[in-house]
């Protein structure tokens, strides 16, 4: 397959390439409109004050990045970038992984929690339309503005996630460095998103500070049939479908 758009040998685009280019531009416009609405919804429910604004702005930066870069199924990658940026701004974020579930479909996933509530931008750009969902902000589905119906920490017989195992065995820095197609790996992605939101990062310092970072596994808790105490807590929220990298 040739690179998009197709160019004829005489330097002119043909009808097919013009059609494809038009579809691509239409898709990009729809994505911009959709993400703008999601960000508007997140702003309406964000916590007040500077701390709440920083979480909101960082979430929006991650959301824009994964859609502009077409990061499908990149839940692990986007979650670690989100986590590092939040921590650098003083937020008490927790980097989480586990099985997620939507409509009976189980998949490995990563997300971030703050005060027990799920923040998940990657779920809006998954590799499977069956589990693709609006982003989750503080446990809220940004399309319905209700508690998300996704389940984080679902019961599953599947083995440990290979990405998390790699990071555990080789080290967090090794995982960050190994991410392909980005200068400085995921550290570079964190720096790029940081620039968008006014946060300057030093990669050498980040490597030292976050070398011992690890995902916290979320598993089902015994609830005896009771609903979670908090709307959108980690046992009643979030997801992304890929078994490859989240």
What does the pLDDT read at residue 4? 28
What single-letter DSSP state applies at residue 146?
Answer: S
The reply to whether 242 falls in a domain is: no
Q: What is the pLDDT of residue 97?
A: 93
Domains in the chain, number: 1
How high is the pLDDT of residue 229? 39
Instruction: Tell me how far CA of residue 82 lies from CA of 19, 35, 150, 191, 229, in angstroms.
Output: 36, 17, 20, 11, 26
* Domain annotation covers residue 100: yes
Instruction: Give the CB-side neighbour count of residue 153, counting CA atoms within 13 A.
Output: 22
Mean pLDDT per block of 10 residues along the chain (246 residues) reads 34 54 62 92 97 98 94 94 98 95 91 97 91 95 96 79 89 94 94 97 97 91 40 38 36
pLDDT of amino acid 30: 76
29: in domain: no
Q: Residue 180 belongs to what domain range? A: 50-236
pLDDT given at position 5: 31
Q: How many CB atoms lie within 10 A of CB 210?
A: 19
The pLDDT of residue 15 is 58
> Cβ contacts of residue 66 below 8 Å, gap of 6+?
74, 78, 121, 122, 124, 125
- Asked whether residue 207 is domain-assigned, the answer is yes
Residue 222 lies in a domain: yes
Distances (CA, A) of 178 to 37, 79, 88, 170, 240: 34, 16, 22, 11, 21
pLDDT of residue 237: 37
Domain for residue 145, yes or no?
A: yes
For 186-246, give the DSSP string.
Answer: HHHHHHHHHHHTT----HHHHHHHSTT--PEE------TTPPPSSTTBGGG------SS--
Q: Is 173 within the bounds of a domain?
A: yes
Can you read off the two tokens belonging to residue 29?
Answer: 């416009």
Q: Is residue 10 part of a domain?
A: no
């Amino acid at each position: 397959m040739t690179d998009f758009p197709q160019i004829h040998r005489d330097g002119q685009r043909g009808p097919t390439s013009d059609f494809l280019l038009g579809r691509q531009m239409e898709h990009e416009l729809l994505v911009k409109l959709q993400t703008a609405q999601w960000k508007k919804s997140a702003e309406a429910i964000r916590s007040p004050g500077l701390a709440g604004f920083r979480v909101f702005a960082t979430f929006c930066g991650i959301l824009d990045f994964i859609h502009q870069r077409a990061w499908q199924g990149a839940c692990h990658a986007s979650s670690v970038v989100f986590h590092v940026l939040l921590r650098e701004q003083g937020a008490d974020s927790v980097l989480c992984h586990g099985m997620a579930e939507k409509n009976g479909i189980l998949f490995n996933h990563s997300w971030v929690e703050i005060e027990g509530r799920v923040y998940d931008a990657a779920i809006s750009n998954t590799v499977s339309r069956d589990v693709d969902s609006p982003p989750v902000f503080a446990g809220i589905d940004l399309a319905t503005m209700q508690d998300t119906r996704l389940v984080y920490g679902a019961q599953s017989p599947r083995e440990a996630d290979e990405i998390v195992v790699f990071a555990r065995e080789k080290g967090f820095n090794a995982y960050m460095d190994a991410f392909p197609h980005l200068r400085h790996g995921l550290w570079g992605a964190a720096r790029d998103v940081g620039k968008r939101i006014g946060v300057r990062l030093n990669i050498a310092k980040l490597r030292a500070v976050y070398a011992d970072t690890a995902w916290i596994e979320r598993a089902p808790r015994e609830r005896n049939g009771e609903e979670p105490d908090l709307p959108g807590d980690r046992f009643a929220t979030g997801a992304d479908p890929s078994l490859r990298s989240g």
